[in-house]
Amino acid sequence: MDLKQIIRDVPDFPKPGILFRDITPVLERPDAFRAALDGLAGLLAPLRFDKIAAMESRGFLLGAPLAVRLEKGLVLLRKGGKLPGAVESVTYYLEYGEATLEMHRSSLRSGERVVVLDDLLATGGTALAAGQLVKKVGAEVAAFVFLIELTVLQGRAPLIEAPVFSLVKYP
């Protein structure tokens, strides 16, 4: 199935000049959602890893069913202030300011191999912060995996610590 034919282009969102790649139509169609999960599972098949760390919020939509399918634990990477209890955090810079990414301290143990998953790879800043968060607790990034990659933004360039995989690429 050609997911590019299903992913919706939304011009000028969230601001003028941006072409947003909307995965909502993929999620609305069980056949397309299954194809996306099958494709992501296929990218992960040769890898040895213990858990999937999915980024808020669209990463959760892909990470949860994928973790169940692959019988792996799911680690939630959330925006600052959204997790109860003891957390680790990383603050990073975006083109429009800064953000904080957090996870429960108890979610990962030293030496575990983790796949960092999100719906979209653009500039790589959030994924880089996710990798730093994983390493902060002594775990290792086994791979970065994305449903969509915007190759023109060269977001994989800063992700040098592990292989980067994407299912659908746009120039």
Tens digits of per-residue pLDDT, 63-79? 999 999 999 999 999 99
CATH of the domain at 135: 3.40.50.2020
Within a domain: 5: no
Within a domain: 20: no
Domain total in the chain: 1
Mean pLDDT of 86-90: 97
Determine whether 58 is an active site residue. Answer: yes
pLDDT, residue 97, reads: 81
pLDDT, residue 165, reads: 98
Give percent of the chain with pLDDT exceeding 90.
96
Within a domain: 125: yes
Question: For residue 95, is pLDDT > 90?
Answer: no
Average pLDDT over all residues of the chain: 96
The one catalytic residue among 8, 48, 56, 58 = 58
Taking the C-alpha atoms of residue 51 and residue 41, their distance in angstroms, rounded to an integer, is 13
The one catalytic residue among 28, 29, 95, 140 = 95
Residue 56's closest CA among 73, 72, 75? 75
Mean pLDDT of 125-143: 97
pLDDT, residue 139, reads: 98
Let me know how long the chain is.
Answer: 171
pTM, two decimal places: 0.96
Give percent of the chain with pLDDT exceeding 70.
99
pLDDT, residue 109, reads: 97
Mode of pairing for the β-strands spanning 73-79 and 97-104: antiparallel
pLDDT, residue 57, reads: 93
Determine whether 28 is an active site residue. Answer: no
Within a domain: 118: yes
Q: Are 50 and 25 in contact (CB under 8 A)?
A: no
User: The domain containing residue 144 runs over which residues?
Assistant: 48-170
Within a domain: 93: yes
Question: For residue 27, is pLDDT > 90?
Answer: yes
